Amino acid sequence: MGILYSLAFVAIVIENQSFTADSKTGHAVIDIRGEKQVRIRSVVIDGKRAQFEKRWPVAENGAPFIDYYPLNGISIDRSEDVLIENVTLRNVVNLAIVVARSKKVVIRNVTIEDSGSLDAQGKNNTTGGILLEEGTTNFEVRGCHLRRIRGNAIWTHSYTVSPRNREGVIADNEIDTAGRDAIQVGHAVNVLVENNTIRNIGYPMDVAEGEPVGIDTAGNVEGSTYRHNRLFEINGKCFDLDGFHDGAVSENRCVNAKPVAAYPLGNFGIVFNDSHPESVSRNIAIQGNVIDGTKYGAMFVIGSGHTISNNSFLNLNLAQSKDGLLGAAIFFSPGVLRPNPPRGVVVKDNVITGHARCPAPFEGVKFERNRCQ
């Protein structure tokens, strides 16, 4: 049965209890709305997915996910000063934890396993993990362990018309096996993603959908940093910087060690993009990263003011593609959905190995001291 708490401005403490979803569970097993000083500690939740799951399409048409998906684990809406700590969630039908329109939220030392539902085609519909959305601010997701998540593991999300999520930290988490993205920063300002360990993304392949990403970006994202993360076996892209600008991707390591057949959804290591109408790819520092083993090239680049330096791009183009785009170590494009050609881009002190073509001179790009083998 869902536990609904909504006594405004009264501290809520839930600790040292176990909850199980049943036929009366509605929006979430624990559903909290309009509260201040929420503490959820040492709680175990069993969502009974095998008993209650059904097929759901991905939410669309501006519907916040918190309002769209039922049968979640913990739901926090329009609340402030929230701590979720030492909680275990298993077999949740949809979102293990969803937070919307809230501020001062800490999610720490949480374990999530075997959660998320599928769409009508049997593919993941983004659910299963931790979601913060609709202008959630001052949040932290730290020291969590997520395993066998059908959709995204840890992510922020807001539609174009929604307020952006702000001032967040996603750090020191371990993610193993997710069908979509391990971490996604969506429509956000000033988010730090650091010291996360990520494995087996885009798996199992029967539920993987589209282009899974180790650390993804969506919407309009600025002033954010992805650093010191370790990624292994990514059946997709290591980093997608769609809508990312005025930020940094530094000192990360992404390694694929299997034969190319293990990565049917494989792609470039790092991809720039411009899907959001209000974002322009500019002023990104890509520094000190190791990208080792990509199905195609190391980077797909658009935009201005970037610095790509001191990276090791190793064992590129495992597919040995001869295509002009896919076979390039670094492919420079004049834009994707709108013109945004490289201008003032510096590429220096990088090491490049594998079957990819070395970068050729390109207008708007300055090359210095790169080694290509």
The stretches in the chain having pLDDT less than 50 are 1, 5-8
Determine if the pTM surpasses 0.75: yes
DSSP class of residue 260 equals G
* Ramachandran angles phi, psi of 212, nearest 5°: -60, 150
Task: Give the model's pLDDT for residue 1.
Answer: 42
The range of the structural domain enclosing residue 270 comes to: 3-372
217 is written with which tokens? 């970006």
Task: Give the model's pLDDT for residue 11.
Answer: 84
- With tokens 């600025």, the residue in question is 222
pLDDT digits over 28-67, tens only?
Answer: 999 999 999 999 999 999 999 999 999 999 988 889 999 9
Number of structural domains, the chain? 1
CATH code where residue 29 lies: 2.160.20.10
Residue 222 backbone class (left: φ over 0; alpha: ψ -120 to 50; beta: rest) = beta
Instruction: Judge whether 104 and 128 are in contact, CB under 8 Å.
Output: no
Instruction: List strands edge to edge, sheet with 213-218.
Output: 3-5, 28-33, 72-77, 97-100, 130-133, 154-157, 181-186, 213-218, 237-242, 270-273, 299-301, 330-332
Instruction: Judge whether 151 and 173 are in contact, CB under 8 Å.
Output: no
Task: Give the model's pLDDT for residue 159.
Answer: 84
Instruction: Judge whether 5 and 48 are in contact, CB under 8 Å.
Output: no
